[in-house]
Amino acid sequence: LLDAGRTGTVELSDDGSRCPGGVTLLVEVSVPPPRMIVFGAVDFAAALVRTGKLLGHHVTVCDARPVFATRSRFPEADEVVVDWPHRYLRSTVTDARTVVCVLTHDAKFDVPVLEVALRLPVAFVGAMGSRRTHDDRMRRLRAAGVTEAELALLHSPIGLDLGARTPEETALSIAAEVVAVRRGGTGASLTGTRMPIHRDGWDRRVPAGA
């Protein structure tokens, strides 16, 4: 309930396990919305801002280029910040529910911010780019001293394979991966599977591909 940010009831048995017939607790939850920090004020970011807001996130867009990081380009964002991504990420507040999406496509921006992000206890770190960009990014991160265990937490290229083409479809694929990682989903079609549709809340980061 805390993870979902909602109030509800929980049924407990005498031994504290969750099962009907025991004590019913009302849990009233008051927590701020989880953060989504989008680095890179690109066209795809505008669609991701809208999708992040739909999922209930407090969305921040950050870019070092003031000509792109403007309120007029991202009117639905909660915050638009002009700063170097790695510097902003070091100074801002994050927690275990924070989602970090790096859309910059530029090594001078995304490598330093990923160095910081992969060492924070956040829920999700993903980066956009082609397979070629991903391979170059991984090489640069290793050269910068990022460990294999830290690299395993990176979701890159970001998003699930939906065949997305438009910014809106790409934002949907990114959001789908964020939800799947956070809730422990596989990303596979429910058709033909026997896995439970609903799972208990999940608040630990899972390495990419796990």
Tokens standing for residue 177: 């991966």
Domains of the chain in start order, with CATH, are 1-31 (no CATH), 35-183 (3.40.50.720)
For position 17, what pLDDT does the model report?
66
- Encode pLDDT of 110-128 as tens digits: 999 999 999 999 999 999 9
Residues 45 and 60: beta-carbon distance below 8 Å: no
**Do 48 and 38 contact (CB within 8 A), yes or no?**
yes
Summary mean pLDDT of the chain? 88
pTM here is 0.82
**46 in helix, strand or coil?**
helix
Give the residues across from 99 on adjacent strands.
Answer: 36, 124
Closest to 57 in 3D by CA, of 105, 156, 124, 131: 124
User: How much is the pLDDT for 201?
Assistant: 47
Q: pLDDT for 8-51, tens place per residue?
A: 887 777 666 666 667 788 888 777 889 999 999 998 999 999 99
Check residue 147 and give its pLDDT: 96
